[in-house]
Structure 1
Amino acid sequence: MSRWKKRPAGSTWGDFGPDDRLGRVNLITAEKVKQGAAEVKEGRSFCLSLPLEYPGGNLLNPRRFPPQLFAVVREGRPNMALPLSMYDPHVTDVSSDDAALLYLQYSTQWDSFAHIGSMFDADGDGTPERVFYNGWRGGSDIPDVPDRNIGEPRLERFPSPGTEALGIHNFARHGMQGRGVLVNLKDAVGDKRDWVGYDLLMRLIEAQKVAVEQGDMLCLYTGFGDVVMAMQKKPDLHRLENSCAVLDGRDTKLLNWITDSGLSCLIADNYAVEGLPARESDSGPVEGSHAMLPLHEHCLFKLGIPLGELWYLSDLAAWLKQHGRSRFMLTAPPLRLTGAVGSPASPIATV
């Protein structure tokens, strides 16, 4: 039985089956993996992740904090460089073992479809419900967590039941490996904050001779990763909010192109991929019901396109530009953490 009677206009709900959890990730087929592998000419790999402790602090998002490392306790002692001979004089081993507290969307990351949904009348009865991609429901498929007053958010946490329906583990199980394609936005925009809509993106795609085909994972290089790295974990919020290109989520032509292009994933080296807060429309302030994150709504909620944020694309972009290329093999699995809404990623590009 379908979970919805009405789907959002222009969405892919139901296109991959009534219980689909992968969206356009379904387009990363065996053929796309072979196409990605065919781009490997030099056997050279590029790390596309920031260090997990970057950007540093919590200025980009006050609800997300850097990772904390802990030594695992072994019989009352911190198990770091611990000689095991203290338990048996004949044993020569020295052992280390640690643990980490991670905010899963702090640094280089994937967003799952459970990250952003919408108040939408999927039942067709005139009353909007909390709905996510393909009609999966907030409150059941993406469970509620009981509310209570808390103190310091870094120290007190709400245990999460996770979401089997749309958790990040679905991407991990499928395998996020195929052909990556890069568009260099920094070449046109430089380091200044600028809104990139359909017209500018198409000019750059044409000038850089980039072809985006069905199932490709599109990466947008803005230079934001360089800005973050240069701050050495001491971010300047004003500079971060005024640096580098961002996609214009209010540009209808851009959203339509994302739909028509057939791309499977949308990735950038900046925070959120789109500009925050979203700009006003060309005709003035946006009125009536609308998304605060229009590109997130379009990709995660309507189309089932995962978003990758805060990737480090600088070295890869420089190499591709030097060699007149735009395609590469991209391997970018998230953690197979059942039910998680997002995940750190350690993507690798191979050329």
Structure 2
Amino acid sequence: MNAAEGIYPDFEGLLQREGRLAGTSWGLFPHQSRGTPSFITPQGVLDARQCIRTGTVFGLDYPADAFDPGMSLKRGAPRHTIYSSHPAHRDDYLDGYYLQGSTQIDGLRHRRADDVGFYNGTPDDRITEGTPDLGIQEWAENPITGRGVLVDLEGHRDEAGEPIDHAGGEPLTLDLVESALKARSLSTQPGDILMLHTGWCEWFLGLSAEDKQRIRQSRKASGMAQSREFTAWAWDNRFAVLAADNFALECLPAVPDSPYRHSAANDNGMMHQQLLAKLGLPLGELWKLGPLARHMRSTGRWDAFITIKPLNITGGTGSPANATAIT
């Protein structure tokens, strides 16, 4: 294995690393704080131009106040104030702006692994306001740009006459993802930005205020089922980013047989610690994928040129994704 030349161990190889390094990508990437976006090479960015065929552009972010109420019990909608200092002037600011309150990308300091700590062994006292370690500014100053592939899980299940059960918080399996890829004759490449279209956001936003509160209190949301197979698959396919149009990418609550019940006890068995703190794999959540999915159904093309440009906030744990797709 020569990580400097872009050759990385598979997931089983990661598990064979010694001590705290077992199951992690710590120290493997040339730019330590960048994580799996390092899989995108300059040639990969150039090749992604081939995804632009129609010149159609899609913004993949919902409004900052779209999820009010949302699933989060703490994050609320920002308060927008416009002011003026004279009749010809207007300026504005936001109060209570939760950077992960709507469409977002989780940074590498968003999660600490219960058993081994923050990504790359970054000390806890470095994860605070104003320090740059693992901060979201890394991807703002060097945006994530490359080929995106949309996996239409909603469309695949609808075609089978088995709509995804969003109200019940259905866990979605890796088998479903692979079946949807096969049905569209899709293949992935190292450095791809993988987008999972479940239909959850449009379903949730279409509910009444009362039903949104009911779903919020149920603490159930459809998403990927927690499994070592999924995390191994994500790493072995060399995805740069995993994104989805649902609350947490993975299902809520974690499945009863989650392999992370003990290693991620503070997260009740969720995969976030494995993906973010151990693999360095950024997660996109609450992405606006419906319009893009419908366009792709009409064209029969499932890839796009993707840009992700988070806010340049030193030490941010996450940010609005500011994601764009060009097909």
- The answer, yes or no, to whether TM exceeds 0.5 is yes
Alignment partner for residue 93 of structure 2, among 75, 95, 99?
99
Matched with 2:135 is 167
Matched with 1:133 is 119
Do the aligned residues in 2 keep the contact of 1:114 with 1:132 (CA within 8 Å)? yes
1:227 aligns to 2:203 (yes or no)? yes
> How far 1:231 sits from its partner (Å)?
3.8
Classify 1:111/1:282 alpha carbon distance in 2 versus 1 (closer, same or farther; 3 Å): closer
Do the aligned residues in 1 keep the contact of 2:52 with 2:326 (CA within 8 Å)? yes
Classify 1:137/1:288 alpha carbon distance in 2 versus 1 (closer, same or farther; 3 Å): closer
Classify 1:288/1:330 alpha carbon distance in 2 versus 1 (closer, same or farther; 3 Å): closer
> How far 1:43 sits from its partner (Å)?
0.5
Do the aligned residues in 2 keep the contact of 1:168 with 1:335 (CA within 8 Å)? yes
> How far 1:8 sits from its partner (Å)?
3.9
Larger CA deviation: 301-310 vs 231-240: 231-240
Do the aligned residues in 2 keep the contact of 1:167 with 1:339 (CA within 8 Å)? yes
Alignment partner for residue 183 of structure 2, among 203, 207, 226?
207
1:36 partner letter: A
Alignment partner for residue 43 of structure 1, among 51, 55, 65?
55
What is the TM-score with the length of structure 2 in the denominator? 0.84
Runs of 5+ consecutive residues of structure 1 not aligned to the other structure? 75-81, 84-93, 122-130, 144-160
Do the aligned residues in 2 keep the contact of 1:46 with 1:316 (CA within 8 Å)? yes
Matched with 1:272 is 248
Classify 1:62/1:95 alpha carbon distance in 2 versus 1 (closer, same or farther; 3 Å): same
> How far 1:197 sits from its partner (Å)?
1.7
Do the aligned residues in 2 keep the contact of 1:56 with 1:234 (CA within 8 Å)? no
Do the aligned residues in 2 keep the contact of 1:53 with 1:233 (CA within 8 Å)? no
- Which secondary structure does the structure 2 equivalent of 1:119 belong to? coil
Classify 1:239/1:233 alpha carbon distance in 2 versus 1 (closer, same or farther; 3 Å): closer
Matched with 1:142 is 127
Distance, in Å, in 1 between the alignment partners of 2:189 and 2:137 is: 26
Classify 1:287/1:170 alpha carbon distance in 2 versus 1 (closer, same or farther; 3 Å): closer
Report percent identity of matched pairs.
Answer: 30
Deviations 1:270-318 (A, max 9, x none): 00100122011189x9568645253211210111110011011001001
Do the aligned residues in 2 keep the contact of 1:172 with 1:336 (CA within 8 Å)? yes
Runs of 5+ consecutive residues of structure 2 not aligned to the other structure? 1-17
Matched with 2:33 is 21
Deviations 1:185-223 (A, max 9, x none): 112152413211222221111112221211000000011
2:79 partner letter: Q
Classify 1:106/1:289 alpha carbon distance in 2 versus 1 (closer, same or farther; 3 Å): closer
Distance, in Å, in 2 between the alignment partners of 1:263 and 1:27 is: 7
Q: CA RMSD in A?
A: 2.5
After superposition, residues 194-343 of structure 1 pair within 5 angstroms as: 194-231=170-207, 236-239=212-215, 245-249=222-226, 251-281=227-257, 286=261, 290=265, 291-343=267-319
Classify 1:63/1:181 alpha carbon distance in 2 versus 1 (closer, same or farther; 3 Å): same
> How far 1:234 sits from its partner (Å)?
6.9
Q: How many residues align?
A: 300
Larger CA deviation: 60-69 vs 239-248: 239-248
What is the TM-score with the length of structure 1 in the denominator? 0.79
Distance, in Å, in 2 between the alignment partners of 1:182 and 1:255 is: 18
Deviations 1:250-285 (A, max 9, x none): x221121111110010000100100122011189x9
Do the aligned residues in 1 keep the contact of 2:246 with 2:286 (CA within 8 Å)? yes
Larger CA deviation: 266-275 vs 195-204: 195-204
- Which secondary structure does the structure 1 equivalent of 2:292 belong to? helix
- Which secondary structure does the structure 1 equivalent of 2:233 belong to? helix
More helix by percentage: 2
Deviations 1:321-348 (A, max 9, x none): 1211111001121001111111112211
1:345 aligns to 2:313 (yes or no)? no
2:204 partner letter: V
Classify 1:98/1:267 alpha carbon distance in 2 versus 1 (closer, same or farther; 3 Å): same
- Which secondary structure does the structure 1 equivalent of 2:20 belong to? coil
Matched with 2:13 is none
Classify 1:95/1:166 alpha carbon distance in 2 versus 1 (closer, same or farther; 3 Å): same
> How far 1:243 sits from its partner (Å)?
8.0
Distance, in Å, in 2 between the alignment partners of 1:293 and 1:110 is: 21
Distance, in Å, in 1 between the alignment partners of 2:246 and 2:98 is: 18
